[in-house]
Structure 1
Amino acid sequence: MAAALLVVLGFTLLGIESGSGAGSNIQTSIHDDGSKTRLTCTLNSSDTAILGHRWMKGDRVVQEDSQPDLTTEYEVDPEERSGQYFCTFLSEPAGRTASLTVNGPPKIEAVTKSELGIQGERVVLACESQSFPPVTEWAWYKIQDSGDQLLNNKSQNKFVVSSETRTELHIQELDLKADPGQYACYGTNSEGKDRAIITLRLRSRLAALWPFLGVVTEVVVLVTIILACEKCRKTDEALGEEDTGSAPPKSSGHRMNDKDKRNAN
């Protein structure tokens, strides 16, 4: 798979179509029909059997079949329209590959739509885009009722790290009052712009200890109950022993009262 990706990238950098056999080449076309976009690759000839076709977007396989046709088509997902696509005619000993580029505005996606941070620590909010042409400008804002606040490397406890396909907002020493809220990442290319929103929630540093403290409290209560029960049991045993030792011995003989003694005299 790694070797195949290197071959595909090589074709992209050279900007040519590959083929094997005399006069072998691929014709490509992009056809828009309303909201649908259809990509077509046609191999003019082949002196080896076609074993199937593979379509890739970037380094991801999006369609594959085992048909022997000299033409293959792929209908682009409207939600992921823009990007660089590759069609490959599978054959032995080597396949034939051509590239097609579909331009469009960026589609920005948040890596996580909600993030939970802890007071005093750090958090990273991230957005990505696989659109083509690549994003040329990223921007971060904090959404506020009084107006969105632009964030950059000069902002307090915040800095931004960006590339063509990803941007990150690093927030250090999180403040429980100032930092929670909604953050928007904007991406712009020559075809337009898009944004994604991430919600940042914070909890106090002590809140992270609450589950542990709850467990400790339960253990202390349980130990206290066990000790109390053990003390009560020992007390009952001691009282039982005292009652047994102080009881007067029972006499089996006849006890004479004072009246009997007088009559006897």
Structure 2
Amino acid sequence: MSRCSFFIYIILLGLCNFLCHCETSNKVIIRQGGDDLKLTCKVAKGVIYWFKDGEGLNPSSSSDGSGDSISTITRNNLTMKDAGMYQCTDKALTTHNFSVSILTVSGKSQELVANASEAVLECSVENEELEVIEMRWRRGNDLINETDKYLTITNGSSSSLIISNPDENDVGPYVCEVSIEHAENKFEKIVGLNNGPHVKKIVDLRNKVEGETAFIVCNVTGYPVPRVTWFKLLEDETQMQVITYDERVSTEAVEGVADAKLIIRDLKIKTDRGDYTCVATNYLDSFNATVTLKVKDKLAAVWPFLGICAEVIILCSIIFIFEKRRNRRMEEEEGDAVKQDLMKKSNGTSQDVRQRNTVTKA
């Protein structure tokens, strides 16, 4: 359709609306840059025409089960060029108007500075044609209210969040929430108090048994969220090797940090024991921590018990042999004593006989 034909069509459409009270609808749509947009027009059976700011468009068309005509206009990754007045109409001059506005919510993050008195996060709306109703800040799902810790300053289409005496506990994402007049939804922008990663000390795993599962957790803080990589020290203790994941070795996320938990199933002494290093990295810095994993044989707990049993058996054997020898010695000593007593008695009897014989002769 030529531009001249379009203006003639619009004039006729206006006259028809004025004289015939043809059906017309108007809708205001506000989207954020980068979003997707889908406009749908449904009329009685017939051809549907689309226009944007006076220029004809080529929509996709279909028909529903009732025979009505359905036509859609789709725009992906919206930019300011996609803003404007969209119109769909049919031969019966039924018109649907869509006023589309595009806004951009921008933010300015800040890095955590040691011993700083404050940190300032900023947020602003870039579209002077839209009226900002409200701007507020959240941390997670919690709305931030003004306290000794937080102060918000809003001026028209811009807002600042001031954090007093910021420390590592304040590091992370903050959400700037914007309410626009006539907009169905609220718009958000994530602004961060950034800091390099830090990994807490990992306790060594010294009592794992072959066949068990080991869980090694890399407790990471920092924002933007650090990326975690796991390494293992080779047997020559000179090189670190990136751990490859399979059905036996895998990772899980911990508190939003991907790969922060290393899971080793069915532990093996030869391949799994050793030093493991967790390296956390973001655009500001990197940090690492090392943990030692010791894997014992399945019978490791049995050997001490068997040793104790062997010691008891040997001790009992020694005691038994000693007692047996002592009893034998005592029996021999008692036998000797009996013999000596018998000998003494026999000697005493013979002496009496001799004495008697001597007296008789006399």
TM-score range, shorter chain: 0.5 to 0.7
CA distance in 2, matches of 1:186, 1:82: 23
Q: Match of 2:278, SS?
A: strand
Quote the offset at 1:212 in angstroms: 1.5
Higher relative contact order (CA 8 A, sep 6+): 1
Contact 1:17/1:25, CA 8 A, preserved across alignment = no
Name the CA distance, whole Å, in 2 between partners of 1:82 and 1:114.
32
- Unaligned stretches of 5+ in structure 1? 1-9, 29-38, 41-73, 85-100
2 CA distance for matches of 1:184 and 1:147? 12
Q: Whole-Å Cα distance in 2 between the matches of residues 25 and 228 of structure 1?
A: 82
Identity level (%): 24
The one of 330, 348, 358 aligned to 1:251: 348
- Is 1:129 equivalent to 2:220 in the alignment? yes
- Is contact 1:82–1:103 with CA below 8 Å preserved after alignment? no
TM norm structure 1: 0.55
Q: 2:195 aligns with which of 104, 125, 128?
A: 104
| In structure 2, distance between residues paired with 1:168 and 1:113 | 14
Q: Equivalents in 1 of 2:143, 2:276: separation in Å? A: 39
* Aligned-partner Cα distance in 1 for 2:144–2:169: 22
The 5 Å alignment of 1:68-79 reads 74=165, 76=167
Query: CA RMSD for the aligned pairs?
Result: 3.9
Which residue does 1:149 correspond to in 2?
241
- Following superposition, the deviation at residue 170 of structure 1 comes to 1.6
Partner of residue 83 from structure 1, selected from 123, 148, 171: 171
Find the structure with the greater CA-based Rg: 2
- The separation in 1 between residues aligned to 2:206 and 2:288, in whole angstroms, is 17
Match of 1:227 among 320, 325, 328: 320
Q: Higher strand share goes to which structure?
A: 2
Of residues 323, 329, 339, the one that matches 1:236 is: 329
Three-state SS of the structure 2 residue aligned to 1:228 is helix
User: Residues 148 and 189 (structure 1 numbering): CA distance in 2 closer, same or farther, change over 3 Å?
Assistant: same
How many correspondences in the alignment? 187
| 174-183 vs 110-119, which moves further | 110-119
For residues 146 and 278 of structure 2, what CA distance do their matches in structure 1 show?
39
Distance in 2 (alpha carbons) for counterparts of 1:162 and 1:25: 31
Corresponding residue to 2:230 among 137, 140, 148:
140
Shift of 1:106: 1.0
CA distance in 2: counterparts of 1:212 and 1:16, whole angstroms: 61
- Contact kept, 8 Å, 1:110 with 1:126, in 2: the verdict is no
* Runs of 4 or more consecutive aligned structure 1 residues displaced over 6 Å after TM superposition: none
Structure 1 residues 35-89: Cα deviation after superposition (integer angstroms, max 9, x where no partner): xxxx63xxxxxxxxxxxxxxxxxxxxxxxxxxxxxxxxx574xxx58736xxxxx
Q: Aligned pair in 2 of structure 1 residues 148, 82: CA closer, same or farther (>3 Å)?
A: farther
Q: Kindly indicate whether the alpha-carbon contact (under 8 Å) linking 2:232 and 2:276 is maintained by their aligned counterparts in 1.
A: yes
Evaluate the alpha carbon distance shift between residue 233 and residue 201 of structure 1 in structure 2; reply closer, same or farther with a 3 A threshold.
same
Whether the 8 Å contact between 2:225 and 2:282 is mirrored in structure 1 is yes
Give the deviation of 1:102 after TM superposition: 4.1
Whole-angstrom CA distance in 2 between matches of 1:15 and 1:152: 42
Show the 5 A alignment for 1:53-64.
none
Q: Structure 1 residue 16 and structure 2 residue 144: aligned? A: yes
Instruction: Map Cα deviations across residues 12-51 of structure 1 (whole Å, 9 max, x no partner).
Output: 52442146xxxx99538xxxxxxxxxx63xxxxxxxxxxx
- Mapped to 2, the partners of 1:177 and 1:254 lie a distance apart of 91
Residue-by-residue CA offset, 1:139-189 (whole Å, 9 max, x unaligned): 2222336854332432x6311112225822121222222222221222234
Q: Which residue of 2 aligns with 1:159?
A: 250
**8 Å contact 2:202–2:290 — kept in the other structure?**
no
The AA in structure 2 aligned to 1:151 is I
TM-score norm. by structure 2 comes to 0.42
